[in-house]
Chain A
Amino acid sequence: MKELSEVIFVEELKYTEDHEWVTGSGATLKVGISDYAQDQLGDIVFVELPEVGTVFAKGDQFGNLESVKAVSELYLPVGGEIVAVNDALGDAPELINQDPYGNWIVEIKPSDTSELEQLLTVDAYRQLLRG
């Protein structure tokens, strides 16, 4: 497992305490998991994605990631409707391990963009991991 100094952070993303990241500010947002999260989970072997069109509230569980160690829930950082899912993860869940920031999981149309302001900045997220 990585030391904190080895964990990759991306400056312009917003993060959650559940180790998801969010990008975009306009009509749609993309959501994935952080490098720290994929490293902690270990090899991801299955991604359970929601149906396009489903509407979730902020913090709702929208899917699961199964690694060789355990199954972990995915929580939506901002409430909204699922407008797209990354189908490539179905055949190649390892993409998340290989490039957690390059491989988004779902794309959502946010119900309330002001929820974005409650997310963590990269510095706040880094601070959270330092504990």
Chain B
Amino acid sequence: MSTTNVPGVNGIVQNEPLLWEKGKKGRRGMCVPASDVPEVAFPAELQGKGIDFPDLSEVDVVRHYTRLSQWNYGVDTGMYPLGSCTMKYNPKINEKVATTPALAAAHPMLADALMQGNLQIMCELQEYLATITGLPGVSVQPAAGAHGELVGMLIFAAYHKSRNSKRTKILIPDTAHGTNPASAALCGYKPVPIKSGHNGILTVESIAAVMDEETAGIMITNPNTLGLFETNIREIAEIVHAKGGLVYGDGANLNAVMGIINARKCGIDVMHLNLHKTFSTPHGGGGPGAGPVCVTEELTQYLPAPRAEKVGDKYQLDYGGPESVGRVHAFHGNFAVLLRAYSYIRTMGADNLKKASQLAVLNAAYIKEKLKGTLPLAYNRPCMHECVFSDALLQEDKISTLDVAKRLIDCGYHPPTIYFPLVVHGAIMIEPTETECKDDIDQFIEVMKMIVREAKENPELLRQAPQRAKVRRLDETMAARHPCLCG
């Protein structure tokens, strides 16, 4: 057997019942002195059976939640190479800033004059994001990436409407993020799928062939979901603009190009950023996130309102004009995520943001080079922040991508993204991010190589995996066919 050093070992993983199954009558977390106030009967209309809370001691509750937390795996536990999700480590200083009471406890309905600090942060964050993208108009309201996409499509629609231009379609490459066609469709556009070229990127010809005056524009994810840079983006943007269309840039993969690419100069008109991915908010558990939208000067009037602005030496909210697509989130968006992003940008500084992207790309390229002899690369060309392998070799041993992913759990890793993008058979999509050091990446590479060896020598290890996790392989088919939607 192999001697590869894997980080995952069997630990003490405790079973834990529900609190309701755990309590016992009479247990309590604290003792309060006997009341010296005379008892008075409750008014009849307020009397009832009451809520069935379990009786628990303090240690019952502490152990309950501690045990549940130990079933969890997060980026604070270990490497989390989930492709296209940018699961990088989030420095704790950003948490500290986000929970500072002076910022976090401000009531969202305070008058502008009483929350100058918070408005200043929003205003400066808008400026930083404008600098990073090259797009001067910024709204920090959208709550997530797909929300930003929808806002982008609303801006497309508002722009075309203002020009009395009736457009019904949006071009969406097969390497775009999966939410793009849904966001376009939600806005009433018909998504037109575009096949990427033989080298995994869009060709100028494929866009020229379909772009017409009924098409509102294109949504491009750059780098795309194969981790490849769309090198033809400028020519593509020119074609789209020549027909009166707009170019949407999905900034979900910004972590590869911060401080390196100017979206405006690439021809992008509207772009969302995923602050929770690129700018330090723990994510993956369902939010909250933030998906600010950045636009050209020409489109700024359509942005959601209000936006923070500086007038003289004071900050205030600008409620926009009639062209605005309107409010898309209550109050100031997911403000705590904005605080983390602000703190991250300020603590990193411009040079280090650029360096973070360079290291994110270097780490992915290193994994690609080290593993390309072990697993077949989907496209053997320079990658950006993530690399994508196919299951072509595994199939020979009747091992699936899913088996590899499950075996990684036994070895102490969160699996990478699998079966996406759809253009790669049995895709294994690895995004290490810049926050993994070389030693940890080397260990991951060795474990991947070990698993591919095991696929040949002891395939049952993969088929039966995970064997060391809290739960074994779940019956995904049963869960999808007969979902149990209530407790």
Across the interface, which residues of A come within 8 angstroms of B422, CB to CB?
70
A94 to B422 CA separation, bound complex (whole angstroms): 22
Q: Name the prevailing secondary structure of the B interface residues.
A: helix
Which residues from chain B contact A68 at a C-beta distance below 8 Å? 476-477, 480
Cα A70 to Cα B400 with chains together (Å): 15
| Residue contact A1 to B476, C-beta cutoff 8 Å | no
Bound Cα distance A46, B477 (Å): 10
The CA of A86 and the CA of B481, in the complex, are separated in Å by: 17
User: Hey, which chain B residues are within 8 Å of A45, CB to CB?
Assistant: 477, 480-481
Residues of B within 8 A of A1 (CB): 395, 398, 400
B128 within 8 A of A: no
B366 close to chain A: CB less than 8 A: no
Question: Is A48's beta carbon under 8 Å from chain B?
Answer: no
Interface members, chain B 398-426 (any A CB < 8 Å): 398, 400, 419, 422
Q: Does A100 contact B (CB under 8 A)?
A: no
Query: What is the CB-to-nearest-CB distance from B418 to chain A, in angstroms, rounded to a whole number?
Result: 9
A68 to B405, CA, bound (A): 15
What are the interface flags for B449-487 relative to A under an 8 Å C-beta threshold, 1 for contact and 0 otherwise? 000000000000000000000000000110011000000
Q: Report the interface size for chain A: residues with CB under 8 A from the other chain.
A: 10
Q: Given that A1-B395, A1-B398, A68-B476 are known contacts, is A94 also in contact with B481, CB under 8 Å in the complex?
A: yes
A residues within 8 A CB of B477?
Answer: 43, 45, 68, 94
- C-alpha gap A93/B481 in the complex (Å): 8
Q: How long is the Cα–Cα vector from A93 to B477 in the complex, in angstroms?
A: 11
Chain B residues with Cβ below 8 Å from A46 are: 480-481
- Chain B neighbourhood of A70, CB < 8 A: 419, 422
A13 to chain B, nearest CB (A): 25
Contact partners of A69 in chain B: CB under 8 A? 419
- How far is A68 from B478 in the complex, measured between Cα atoms in Å? 10
Q: Kindly list chain A residues whose C-beta atoms are within 8 Å of the C-beta of B398.
A: 1
Contact pattern, A 57-87, Cβ under 8 Å of B = 1, otherwise 0: 0000000001011100000000000000000
A66 contacts which chain B residues (CB < 8 A)?
480
Indicate with 1 or 0, residue by residue over A1-19, a CB within 8 angstroms of chain B CB atoms. Answer: 1000000000000000000
Closest to B425 in A: A40
Q: Which residues of chain A from 21 to 76 have a CB within 8 Å of any chain B CB? A: 43, 45-46, 66, 68-70
CB proximity of B471 to chain A, nearest CB, Å: 17
Contact with A along B363-398 (1 / 0, CB 8 A): 000000000000000000000000000000001001
* Closest B residue by C-beta to A2: B398
A-chain residues with CB within 8 Å of residue B395 when the two chains form the complex: 1
Could you say which residues of chain B place their CB within 8 Å of the CB of A93? Answer: 481
CA distance A69 to B427 in the complex (A): 11
Question: What is the CA–CA distance of A69 and B422 in the complex, to the nearest angstrom?
Answer: 10
The distance from the CB of A82 to the nearest CB of chain B, in whole angstroms, is: 21
Shortest beta-carbon distance from B90 to chain A in Å = 31
Whole-angstrom distance between the alpha carbons of A68 and B475 in the complex?
Answer: 10
Across the interface, name the chain B residue whose C-beta is closest to A68. B476
Q: What's the nearest-Cβ distance from chain A to residue B281, in Å?
A: 29
6 A-B pairs whose Cβ atoms sit less than 8 Å apart in the complex: A1-B395, A1-B398, A43-B476, A46-B481, A68-B477, A93-B481
- Chain A interface (Cβ within 8 Å of chain B)? 1, 43, 45-46, 66, 68-70, 93-94
Given contacts A1-B395, A1-B400, A94-B481, 12 further A-B contacts (CB under 8 A): A43-B476, A43-B477, A45-B477, A45-B480, A46-B480, A46-B481, A66-B480, A68-B476, A68-B480, A70-B419, A70-B422, A93-B481
